[in-house]
Amino acid sequence: MPELPEIVVIAKEMDRTIRKKEVRLVSIIQPKCGNRPAEDYMKYLSGRKVERVFPLGKWIEILLDHQVRFLVSLGMGGEICYFKKPQKPPEKSRLIVRFSDETGFYVTLWWFGYFHLVLKNETHPMTASLGPDPLNITEEEFISFLTKKRGNIKSFLLNQKKIRGIGNFYIQEILFRARMHPLREINLMTEKEKHGLYRAIREVLEESIALGSSSYELDFFGEKGEYGLDRMSIGYQENKPCPVCRTKIDKIKTGSTSQFICPRCQILP
């Protein structure tokens, strides 16, 4: 599943590549992924120019003239890739957007995803309810944000309504670098732990972005990033020794997800 680093990288590439291009044709191959009738996409997007593209948690927002918004979520996995003549989108494409200069992009989806059209003065409930971007808040704001929150820290960080963009891939490294057990109760965290967690979040996400994001996802040009499992301290390395203390890495259940931890470095008080 693409998370914040993948979306940031793709959105930046899209912004510098398709900005000012005029939409000529929109093909909706999977209407169930939309929020309006398929014909509306052609009606409201055709002839409009892209003003900018930016990340919004796990969503990509394409803002067109007259404040028309086109939002794409790759869901549990998929690609959004650029093409130009004589290249053709793959048959598995679920959405194809073509521009007047004969370039375009396509979206493929492995499991589920969305492409939503939002007109001027309309709200989009799925993104309106998102929490803050962890890279756009200060350390003081983050500490204040955790005040009076309850529940375990992993569930909190994965809840897109609390904080957006973090998923089960990057949370492995984030919590290890913070030396924090995933079931640590937020209301019991010390100030030192909160500050350490903030720094770990920024370090991991910024490191991946600098490397072009993860090695298991494609960017806008169909290239893989360089943030692979070799960059992770213990994530997805069950039974191998912790690089810090040499204790055997465990895989534990954390609700509906699993977590790789070092039982010595990430103690649950």
> Which string of DSSP letters, residue by residue, matches 175-204?
HHHTT--TT-BGGG--HHHHHHHHHHHHHH
Examine residue 121 and state whether it is found in any structural domain, yes or no: yes
Beta strand 23-28 with 95-99 is antiparallel
Examine residue 267 and state whether it is found in any structural domain, yes or no: no
User: Is 230:159 a contact under the CB 8 Å cutoff?
Assistant: no
Instruction: Report how far Cα 124 is from the mean position of its chain's Cα atoms.
Output: 18
Taking CA 13 as the corner, what is the angle to CA 158 and CA 79, rounded to the nearest 5 degrees?
A: 60
245 shares its domain with 145: yes
Three-state SS sequence of 32-43? HHCCCCHHHHHH
152 shares its domain with 257: yes
User: Structural domain tally of the chain?
Assistant: 2
CA-based end-to-end distance of the chain: 31
CA separation (Å) from 178 to 59, 64, 192, 215? 27, 40, 10, 23
User: Is 69:51 a contact under the CB 8 Å cutoff?
Assistant: no
Q: What is the pLDDT along the chain (269 residues), one digit of tens a residue?
A: 899 999 999 999 999 999 999 999 999 999 999 999 999 999 999 999 999 999 999 999 999 999 999 999 999 999 999 999 999 999 999 999 999 999 999 999 988 899 999 999 999 999 999 999 999 999 999 999 999 899 999 999 999 999 999 999 999 999 999 999 999 999 999 999 999 999 999 999 999 999 999 999 999 999 999 999 999 999 999 999 999 999 999 999 998 999 999 999 999 98
Domain membership of residue 175 as a residue range: 139-217+227-261
Tell me the whole-structure pTM to 2 decimals: 0.95
- SS3 label, residue 127: helix
> What is the domain-level CATH number for residue 152?
1.10.8.50
